[in-house]
Copies of this chain bind each other. A is one copy, B any other.
Amino acid sequence: MSAQPVSPSRLSLNQITTKNWSLPEAVQGCLDAGIPAIGLWRDKVAETGVAEAAKLVREAGLAVSTLCRGGFLTAPGPDGRHAALAENLRALEEAAELGTDTLVLVVGGLPDGSRDLVGARERVAELLAELAPHAGDLGVRLAIEPLHPMFCADRAVVSTLGQALDLAERFPVEQVGVVVDSYHVWWDPELASQIARAGARIASYQVCDWTLPLPADALLGRGHVGDGHIDFRTMTEQLTAAGYTGWIEVEIFNDTIWNTPGADTLRTMIERHHAHVEAP
């Protein structure tokens, strides 16, 4: 009999979705909308300061579903390797201070002018081996995110969930997991079997929709859940069957959505979540 909207108990706002909000604005937006969790971005955290950001989300009672993002592990040579390790150790420490157990990794693309995809993938594995014990010490899990193959050259040489699991399974489950982001994996003919295989390795479930046409900057082509071609209900069921009951984080890169008032975006997120991802 109540007009109250049902609380979306597993929904999290990835803060890139409201890119024009500062961290304090995003925290307040979640409180106003009744969204119980937030996925933070390091650049936004840096604007506020890590300690202050941690205090804000804690006092707001929000869970921090993930920190985005570490990774970029493919630079060649000792300098590139050293810089990547140092940066990812800082990211792990920030994640711990912010109270999240998940650091999302975008592993990096091919170095400039390189065609050595095999070599770049080997460097990812090597640096994961260096980072994993530190992650374990800090109680934060490295979550390898396979990116859509159209980002293989420039952003992530890990392109499928199966490939991410091949990497993750070299390490203890509490140290290295995987991200299932609908946009990046929806097309994969092995998706169902790889989600089943992933089980407890699933560290994060991120959602947005595949919409066409792709814009000139393909990074910004993602749509609200329900606006495109992805069958979210089935994907959510597969994740549930695999044992994943954690946060469902809405992460959208889209100029039009970024230029929409944040409160409107959060209202759409909640509606679409109930309609397409998980029944209320």
Q: Give CA–CA (A213, B214) in the complex, Å.
A: 12
| 18 pairs, A vs B, C-beta closer than 8 Å | A115-B229, A117-B186, A117-B187, A117-B231, A148-B149, A149-B149, A149-B188, A150-B150, A150-B214, A153-B212, A153-B228, A153-B229, A158-B189, A159-B187, A159-B189, A162-B190, A214-B218, A215-B216
Q: Would you give the shortest CB distance from A111 to chain B, in whole angstroms?
A: 11
Question: What is the total number of residues of chain A having a CB less than 8 Å from a CB of chain B?
Answer: 35
Q: A152-B187, A154-B212 are in contact. List 12 more A-B contacts (CB 8 A).
A: A114-B229, A117-B186, A117-B229, A150-B218, A153-B210, A153-B212, A153-B228, A153-B229, A158-B189, A162-B190, A213-B217, A215-B216
Contacting residues, chain B, for A188 (C-beta < 8 A): 149, 159-160
B148 touches A231 (CB 8 A): no
CB within 8 Å of B: which of A184-211?
Answer: 186-190, 210
* A163 on interface, CB distance cutoff 8 Å: yes
Chain B residue nearest to A154 (CB atoms) is: B212
Question: Given A187-B117, A216-B216: A150 and B148 within 8 A (CB)?
Answer: yes
* A121 on interface, CB distance cutoff 8 Å: yes
Contacting residues, chain B, for A45 (C-beta < 8 A): none
Contacting residues, chain B, for A116 (C-beta < 8 A): 231
Contacting residues, chain B, for A239 (C-beta < 8 A): none
Chain B residue nearest to A229 (CB atoms) is: B153
Binding site for B on A (CB under 8 A): 110, 114-117, 121, 148-150, 152-154, 158-160, 162-163, 166, 186-190, 210, 212-218, 228-231
Q: Give CA–CA (A163, B187) in the complex, Å.
A: 12
Contacting residues, chain B, for A152 (C-beta < 8 A): 186-187
A189 touches B215 (CB 8 A): no
B189 touches A160 (CB 8 A): yes
B115 touches A230 (CB 8 A): yes
Question: Given A115-B229, A149-B148: A189 and B163 within 8 A (CB)?
Answer: yes
* Residue of A114, A154, A213, A218 most packed against chain B (CB within 10 A): A218
Q: Give CA–CA (A215, B217) in the complex, Å.
A: 8
Q: Would you give the shortest CB distance from A255 to chain B, in whole angstroms?
A: 14
Closest 4 CB pairs of A and B: A152-B187, A149-B187, A115-B231, A163-B189
